[in-house]
Amino acid sequence: MSEDSPKQSPVIIITGTPGTGKSTHAQLLVAESPIPLKHINVGQLVKDKSFHHGFDEQWQSYTVDEDKLLDELEPLASAGGIILDWHTCEIFPERWADLVVVLRCNHTMLWDRLEKRNYPLKKIQENNEAEIMEVVLQEARDSYPQQIVVELKSESSQDIENNVTSIVSWIKQWLKDNDCKIEDDMDKDTIS
């Protein structure tokens, strides 16, 4: 982001293969952030606002209308203060992102998680292969500056707790680096 950006809070993209804990991380981050952040579950937004061309029965997913989705998200990203939670990230313009968190999980553990969600076998296999081949991580590295892409392990509750603590520290540093103020009811000493 440019130094003259009017944003007073960052845009954080949390991405990863389905089942890696994106929504859990985002929800905890909203609760623990020193500034107000809005969690946007992009997959749910696509369904709720019909930003799709229909449902693909074979892959058990919606075919996203990227233009409608990006038009909806543009003003929110420009304002900042959002967490975009989705299994892909390359669709989001580079100018939006201040931090891109790619969550990773052991493929055996991921398989179990997706089975518990009752994913069809084909979808479990596709997502498991994507995790093994580091598809989402490579997509993030190809789409954003190296210094804003962070790969984090997400296999246990301790991992999640550590990750959220690290991201909160990053937010505090971002605020300091961008000369942003914390709301009066927040503890200002946490940024210094």
- Known binding-site residues equal 19, 21-24, 117
Tokens read off for 163 = 């990750």
The dihedral built from the CA positions of residue 94, 130, 85 and 31, taken in this order, carries a sign that is negative
Annotated binding site for ATP: 19, 21-24, 117
Is-contact 37 30, C-beta < 8 A?
A: yes
